[in-house]
Each structure stands twice: as structure tokens, then as C-alpha cells.
Amino acid sequence: MNRHKKICTVYDILRKAYGPQGWWPILFTRNSGEKSSHFNGYHPGDYDYPKNGLQQLEICLGAVLTQNTNWKNVLLALGSLASSGLLSLERLLEAKNDQIALAIKSAGYYNQKAGYIKNLVLFLDDFPFDKLKRYSKDATRQKLLEIKGIGPETADSILLYSLKKNSFVVDAYTTRILSCLGIISPKLNYGSIQELFESSLKNDLIVFQEYHALLVQHGKEYYSRKPYGKNDRLLLKDN
DNA sequence: AACCAGGACGTGA
DNA sequence: TCACGTCATGGT
């Protein structure tokens, strides 16, 4: 089996085992308590997100805050931003970096990330979400990568989940799982891994969104502690 | 008490 | 290019 086919097979197995994931989790909905299927910010099977600019912004902020950081700590930071009245483009634009840093303390690297968030909202002030709609995926990605603090994974997360532009997200779990499966070398660079996924899968937003979410779900379960993949009987068949 | 978490940047080979 | 140090809190 060639590796393109393996990529597709892995998706089928994960999708069947875990079901729809409902990424990106949205904490702050304007109509809270709206859906019974919407829990802890997740909305499995409902791909009509984000529903407004606030949710788009929340995804962008979460993408920066979660850099090398546990998602639970990100939730605390997002909640803190909200209770500080900073969860809006306007307030973040006028806030000082120190204020932002204080509010996002729980997410770690708070001084760096405060600066990154400031850079991002300055960009969004020039290129609001409705304006970015008119740009291609590649053009938007290039612009995002020019922002200091927005690397490839953060850019792709923003593209895929906030802007709904189809760019595959590669994270540490993705590399780990694929190398344990023998599909790639563990030191293959980001772009090559992304290219492998994008050339193997059909160019479908839902598939890209779900696949990354499924890899994270599976990665948390079996690939967070060494030896990686131990007890993974789902993908690592003993053969 | 180490180790880990949905990375990115600056530096020096 | 690429390997390595730095940034930092909170859970296990």
C-alpha cells in the first residue's frame, strides 16, 4: 500500500473509531445554551461554525494561546480575557501588552503570547474577516506567516477553523503518529507532511477539519508519553 | 518531582 | 537549512 492510500486508511479508521469531533471548540456563543449537542465548546457533526466574528476571533486567539500549551490552560486564559472585557478586536487593539499578558497568564509564555496577539489583532484591523474572504488560501496564508508569532501550524489552524480555507494542520501528534506508523521520517519538515496529506485526501473542508481533530484525539490517548504509540492497537497492528 | 502540553523565534553552525 | 536554547503555567 502506498503512503497516500495509508493516509486515507488512517482517516477512515480514526473516523470510525471516534466519530465526528466538532472542532474548533467554541467557548463563547452569543446564544448560550443553544444546542444539546454543543458541550464544552465542541459541536460534533455541526460544521456551521464559526457563526460570527466573535467566534472567529476566539479561534484565532485560541490558536496562538495553545502554542505548546495544554488546552485547559487556554480555556482559563480565554475566560480571563472575557471577564477582563478584552475579548473583542477593539479592546485588544487599545489594550497594552501588559494587560493582555496578565489576562492570559494561565496559558504560559504570557509575555511572548501577549505580543503575538497584539501583532495578530493589528493585522486583523487591516484585514478584517470579511475582507480576508476575498483572498485566496495561499495569499492569506502568506500574509498570516508574515506576522511575528504566527508560524505554520497557527496559520493553518486559523485558516482551517476560523477562515474556513482548506489548509491541512500539522502538529506534533501528526508527525509522531505517522512516523510511528512508518509512513514518514520523524524529521520530515512541516511543508512536506502537509503536502502529503493535501495530495492524498480530497480537498474537503470537513475532512481536513476532522482529520486534524482526530489525530489530536488519538494522539492525546496514545502518543503523549514515551514510548509513543504504546497500547495503540487501533493503528499499530502487530504485523 | 520530573514530565508534558494542539509552537515560534533567535542564534550559531 | 537545521539543531538547540528560550519562553512559563498548570495538570499528572
Cell of A189: 519538515
Å separating the CA of residue A30 from the C1' of nucleotide C3: 46
Hits for CB < 7 Å against strand B across A residues 121-180 = 147-155, 157, 161, 171-173
pLDDT score, position A130: 98
Strand C footprint nucleotides (protein C-beta < 7 Å): 2-3, 7-11
Q: Do you find a cis peptide bond into A24, omega within 30 degrees of 0?
A: yes
Nucleotide nearest A173, from its CA to each C1': B6
The alpha carbon of A188 is separated from its chain's Cα centroid by a whole number of angstroms, namely 20
A7 CA to C7 C1' distance (Å):
34
What's the predicted TM-score (pTM) here?
Answer: 0.97
For residues A215 and A127, give the distance between their C-alpha atoms in angstroms, rounded to a whole number: 31
Rounded, the Å distance between the CA of A12 and C1' of C8 is 38
pLDDT at A239: 43
CA of A26 vs C1' of B6, distance in Å? 15
List chain A pLDDT tens, one digit each, 239 residues: 899 999 999 999 999 999 999 999 999 876 555 555 677 899 999 999 999 999 999 999 999 999 999 999 999 999 999 999 999 999 999 999 999 999 999 999 999 999 999 999 999 999 999 999 999 999 999 999 999 999 999 999 999 999 999 999 999 999 999 999 999 999 999 999 999 999 999 999 999 999 999 999 999 999 999 999 999 999 997 54
Distance from CA(A67) to C1'(B5), angstroms, rounded: 9
Q: What angle do CA A100, A41, A85 make, to 5 degrees?
A: 30
- Which residue, counting CA atoms, is nearest to the C1' of nucleotide C1? A189
Per-residue CA distances from A142 to A4, A76, A77, A136, A151 (Å): 26, 30, 28, 10, 10
Cis peptide before A25 (omega within 30 of 0): no
CA A63 to the chain's CA centroid = 6
* Chain B, protein-covered positions (CB within 7 A): 3-10
Cell 505554520 belongs to: A152
